[in-house]
Structure 1
């Protein structure tokens, strides 16, 4: 059963990696790619190399040119090396050049993945395709739970920093300027703006007057805090 689709260069059509990808449910669509060997999406490209090809391309200068063209075409690029590098490096006249070029590639934004076999490479590409195709609509980030037994001041700090545009520094400034959380929420917007800026002030007032369900009726957030 075909689960996902990616674009592969025609040169990869008879490769073992493509055959393994098909078995894993990833159906390549073949095209003449000007750069890269696989397109995971319109922003992610993969350049695949064997260890021997990687070393030779670095030594003859092709490597830098290929990566530069890849970076110009796609925001995210992956160098996928299939097979251990140890043997190829042992045969290189100057392994230091290879390490240097790989380090520079990393620093310029290229992700380098070295896997031992085509099967491992196929599994990696499958998951890369799967993750890149996920819809972020309705995505809910994992929430870092606040530690228990916090002091009231720490709880107020957490409430303030949860408001958009109110970071730690602005929260601390508000806590120095007002005696309690209720005073912050009830303060005039102009006063808040003078302390934390107009954008943060608007968000604070929006939170303060957001209608919430409490005791089977809608009340202002300030009333809710006052009653609790």
Structure 2
């Protein structure tokens, strides 16, 4: 006589972009009920009010420079009681990924101290899956619905401060002073190093680093794009 297997009782909601990571398949292999959806915030919802944003080391570093990181932290904090950032990869490789590791550690410190979001490191996707399972088993599944309507951030000033805070060596206070001096983020980005150095607390050295970062051509740039834009 065949016995009917009970369905998995623990569930994790996974953002559809995480399919390629292989983590959803690892979760299914240990009888976690995986629901794949398009999540506006985060990559995994492991329990009521508990969301996990998974970032590989290269993605975490690039999100610092393009301004995504702090905006994501704002939205995670605004919409979930227990946001978590999961940092996946070998930290020993930071020196090979970024010229100045202090920029990386400054960003990590800001996440932990200013946003009060815990950062948990894992060495690989397999260990990430184990951590997600552990979180899922620890949380009370009956506390309420996983999914909810996510509020969209429409605070322009907060977005402006976030974009400027992504610049090398710039925190929220310096970002505020930049806006006081130049009026808009665009004017700040277009300012010369001499003009930037006049912002109180910034100085010539940091101003040069900011200009170097803004003016250095990205390795992602394709030669054909420039001619297309000029037509």
TM normalised by structure 2 equals 0.55
Contact preservation (8 Å) 1:55, 1:88: no
Contact 1:6 1:28 in 2 (8 A): yes
1:132 aligns with 2:133: no
SS of equivalent to 1:13: helix
Q: Whole-Å Cα distance in 1 between the matches of residues 132 and 28 of structure 2?
A: 11
SS in 2 for 1:36: coil
After TM superposition, list the pairs within 5 Å mapping 1:46-195 onto structure 2: 46-107=52-113, 108-133=115-140
User: Which of 4, 11, 21 lines up with 1:5 in the alignment?
Assistant: 11
User: Quick check: 1:59–1:98 contact (8 Å CA) kept in 2?
Assistant: no
Q: Deviations over 1:180-228 (max 9, x none)?
A: xxxxxxxxxxxxxxxxxxxxxxxxxxxxxxxxxxxxxxxxxxxxxxxxx
- State how far apart, in whole Å, the 1-side matches of 2:61 and 2:52 are: 17
Mapped to 1, the partners of 2:94 and 2:23 lie a distance apart of 20
User: What do the CA deviations read for 1:5-47 (whole angstroms, capped 9, x no partner)?
Assistant: 0111111134311111111221211111111011112311000
Q: Could you say if the C-alpha distance between residues 37 and 135 of structure 1 is closer, same or farther in structure 2, counting changes exceeding 3 Å?
A: closer
1:35 aligns with 2:41: yes
Other structure's SS at 2:47 match:
coil
Runs of at least 5 residues in structure 2 that lack an aligned partner in the other structure: 1-6, 144-231
Q: What is the TM-score when the length of structure 1 is the normalising length?
A: 0.56
SS at match of 1:123: helix
Note closer, same or farther for the CA distance 1:34–1:135 as it changes in structure 2 (3 Å cut). Answer: closer
**Structure 1: distance between partners of 2:13 and 2:29:** 16
SS at match of 1:34: coil
Highest Rg: 1 or 2?
Answer: 1
Q: Residues 122 and 60 (structure 1 numbering): CA distance in 2 closer, same or farther, change over 3 Å?
A: same
Q: Equivalents in 2 of 1:113, 1:29: separation in Å?
A: 23
- 1:82/1:116 contact within 8 Å kept: yes
Alignment partners' CA distance in 2, 1:28 and 1:89: 36
Secondary structure (helix, strand or coil) at the match of 1:21 reads helix
Please say if residues 10 and 136 of structure 2, whose CA atoms lie closer than 8 Å, have aligned partners that are also in contact: yes
Residues paired across the two proteins, number? 136
Show CA shifts across 1:86-138 (max 9, x none). Answer: 213432122111101111111122111111111111111001001013679xx
The whole-number CA distance in structure 2 between the counterparts of 1:39 and 1:120 is 17
- Asked whether the equivalents of residues 13 and 44 of structure 2 are also in contact (C-alpha less than 8 Å), the reply is yes
